[in-house]
């Protein structure tokens, strides 16, 4: 039997004037998680939303929260992310010189720990941390903005990561974020992805619940 692919819609593409309506749709959809992009204007050239907004989202959303921090020194905000009752906290490899310590701190706080790689950061750099992490988030666009074009080299990175996880007998999930839609998902699934993040393809679709359903039933190419 084909493995079940998880779908984590990215709030970045939502209608912020109607967050309650958007969350109602997410709650009654087949979405597995909700992906929250936090940006600081330093690590990435954009600012998204902060904790007061996320507190409201967390109250409305019934799905597990998959938080993606595109900020410098993400370890400073472990407590705030935990207060959202987040399931997963993803920090960027490029933002954490003491990554092992940050991963342990996230787990000690009671969350799953994810490590995110920018498109130009090689998977091989995870050799000595892969056994400690619950998920690797591969960016398939340069982080900072929704609605960008998928970078095809990501497929090779998914395959390399799948090999690394198998060789180390590790348990990490593979998540891909950026430009994911019905066209790019089949090859990602074939390459070995576990979780698809989709912003525009879900929130800008005429029927959000149907768009999520279509991503859930896509098979590998």
Ligand X SMILES: O=C(CO)[C@H](O)[C@H](O)COP(=O)(O)O
Binding residues (CB under 6 A) for ligand X: these are 10, 12-13, 35, 37, 68, 70, 141, 143-148, 177-180, 197-201
Q: Which is nearer to ligand X, 192 or 199 (CB)?
A: 199
Q: Which of 32, 40, 177, 194 is catalytic?
A: 177
Residue whose pair of structure tokens reads 């998902």 in the numeric block:
185
Q: Which candidate, 16, 86, 76, places its Cα nearest to that of 40?
A: 76
Q: Is position 177 an interface residue for Fe ion (rule: CB under 5 A)?
A: yes
Q: Is 220 annotated for ligand binding?
A: no
Q: Least separation, in Å, of the C-beta of 60 and Fe ion?
A: 19
Q: Which of 109, 143, 113 is nearest to 38 (CA)?
A: 143
Span interacting with Fe ion, options 43-51, 63-71, 104-112, 207-215, rule CB under 5 A: 63-71
Counting contacts by CB under 5 A, is residue 40 touching Fe ion?
A: no
Give the residue at shortest CB distance from Fe ion: 68
32 binds Fe ion (CB under 5 A): no
Residue 132 annotated to the active site: no
Residue 127 CA to residue 167 CA, distance in Å, equals: 10
200 belongs to an annotated ligand binding site: yes
State the Cα torsion 120-125-127-132 to the nearest 10°. Answer: -90
Q: Are 218 and 189 in contact (CB under 8 A)?
A: yes
* Among Fe ion, ligand X, none, partner that 146 touches (CB below 5 to 8 angstroms by kind): ligand X
Q: Clarify whether 128 is annotated catalytic.
A: no
Q: Which two tokens stand for residue 105?
A: 């701190």
User: In 115-138, which positions are buried (b, 16+ CB within 10 angstroms) versus exposed (e)?
Assistant: bbbbeebebeebeebbebbbbbbb
Burial-class residue 159 by CB neighbours within 10 Å (0-12, 13-18, 19+): middle
- Indicate which of Fe ion, ligand X, none lies near residue 178 (CB less than 5 to 8 Å, by partner kind): ligand X
- Binding segment for Fe ion (CB under 5 A), chosen from 13-21, 33-41, 53-61, 180-188, is 33-41
Q: Which residues contribute to the annotated binding site for substrate? A: 10, 68, 144-147, 177-179, 199-200
Q: Which residues contribute to the annotated binding site for a divalent metal cation? A: 35, 37, 68, 177
Q: Which positions are annotated as active-site residues?
A: 37, 177
């Amino acid at each position: 039997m084909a493995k079940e692919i998880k779908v984590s819609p990215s709030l970045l593409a939502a209608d912020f004037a109607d967050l309650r309506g958007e969350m109602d749709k997410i709650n009654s959809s087949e979405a597995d998680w909700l992906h929250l992009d936090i940006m600081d204007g330093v690590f990435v050239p954009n600012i998204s939303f902060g904790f007061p907004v996320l507190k409201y989202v967390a109250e409305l959303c019934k799905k597990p929260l998959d938080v993606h921090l595109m900020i410098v020194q993400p370890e400073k905000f472990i407590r705030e992310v935990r207060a959202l009752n987040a399931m997963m906290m993803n920090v960027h490899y490029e933002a954490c010189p003491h990554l092992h310590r940050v991963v342990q701190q996230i787990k000690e706080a009671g969350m799953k720990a994810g490590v995110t790689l920018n498109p130009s950061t090689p998977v091989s750099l995870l050799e000595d941390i892969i056994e400690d992490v619950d998920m690797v988030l591969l960016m398939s666009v340069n982080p900072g903005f929704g609605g960008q074009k998928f970078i095809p080299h990501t497929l090779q990175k998914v395959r390399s990561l799948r090999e690394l996880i198998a060789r180390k007998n590790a348990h990490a999930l593979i998540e891909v974020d950026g430009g994911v839609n019905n066209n790019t998902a089949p090859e990602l699934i074939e390459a070995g992805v576990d979780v698809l993040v989709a912003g525009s393809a879900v929130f800008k679709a005429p029927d959000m619940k149907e768009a999520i359903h279509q991503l859930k039933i896509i098979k590998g190419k």
